[in-house]
Amino acid sequence: MGAGGKLSPAREIPSWDSGGMVVKRGLDVGTSALLLLLALPSLLIAALVIRLTSRGPILFRQARMGRNFKPFEILKLRTMEFAAPGLPYTMGADPRITPFGKFLRRSKLDEVPQLWNVLRGDMSLVGPRPVLPELTEEFRAQYARLLTVRPGLTDPASLKYSQEAQLLGTVADPMGFFKSVVTPDKIAISLRYLERSNLWTDGVALALTALICCFPSLSPLSGALVGSVPSKILPWPSLESRPVLSVRPTPALERVVMARPVISINERRSARRKLPLPWNPVLNGYRGNESTVRRARQRASHL
């Protein structure tokens, strides 16, 4: 990011040079092919259960924006009732999600078919998550930079918001929170990551993703795990949120909600026995500017 908070030119992204991008693509192809073979038995069992427990296709297909604004069709195992009306976003306990779909989402098994997208060249293993085309139009200047590379299965922003649906389900205005807080934060983190990404950082992102898929409660620790490594060894972007977009939350909301990584939903239990942490948007919610300021001041006085 340049002086005065202006975005630096797109040519600075990514840090992989042309030869490195060839290596990255080779690793994408080899790794995705191997993982697909290893996951095939689980995919077949999941496909059978989907077929037996709900009507409709096994795969969910949806248009997403790819590299250089070229749309592609992302693949997932279907987790919702077929053709159920509703928003294209999942926010909280969506009634459209089937019982087996809840398991697929918790285990992230529904995301495994995206390895085929990686194999085809639509996606990469590590990169900014692909989003709906209308969202890229709303934030076009920022996605013009992000989409100079292939979107990916995971990146640091995905790790921070691995429980995004649960988070959105706890706020009064999920869509407003998603557009004014979550999306700018994710874009800012992804931009910072692309400025310094390399083979080492991509490997760490994949390892953390695998760890969080197996142990979801560790998601709030992902930032601390990599933050303990010197930046010269691991140039990982800070997960503290400082959006670089024109769409910003209020200063109070930025301090309270975006100053620390999102904590685990599982910490609700312990929070019943003590004062909720002021930076925990899962517990505190998003109720508008005045209430945010008031709660921030009240809770800060107890720390």
Asked if residue 124 belongs to a domain, the reply is yes
Confirm whether 55 is domain-assigned. yes
**Which residues is 244 bridged to in the sheet?**
none
The predicted model scores a pTM of: 0.71
Compute the average pLDDT of residues 28-46. 96
The tally of domains found in the chain comes to: 1
Domain contains 154 = yes
Mean pLDDT of 202-221: 78
Residue 297 falls inside a structural domain: no
Mean pLDDT of the chain: 74
In a domain, 174, yes or no: yes
Domain holding 199, by residue range, is 14-249
Decide if 30 is inside a domain. yes
Is 262 part of a structural domain of the chain?
A: no
66-101 burial, b for 16+ CB within 10 Å, e for fewer?
A: bbeeeebebbbbbbbbeeeeeeeebbeebeebbebb
Give pLDDT tens digits for 71-116: 999 999 999 999 887 777 777 678 899 999 999 988 889 999 999 9
Q: Is position 266 within any domain?
A: no
pLDDT single digits (tens) 217-276: 666 555 555 555 555 555 566 555 444 333 344 444 444 333 333 333 334 334 433 333
18: CB partners within 8 A, 6+ apart: none
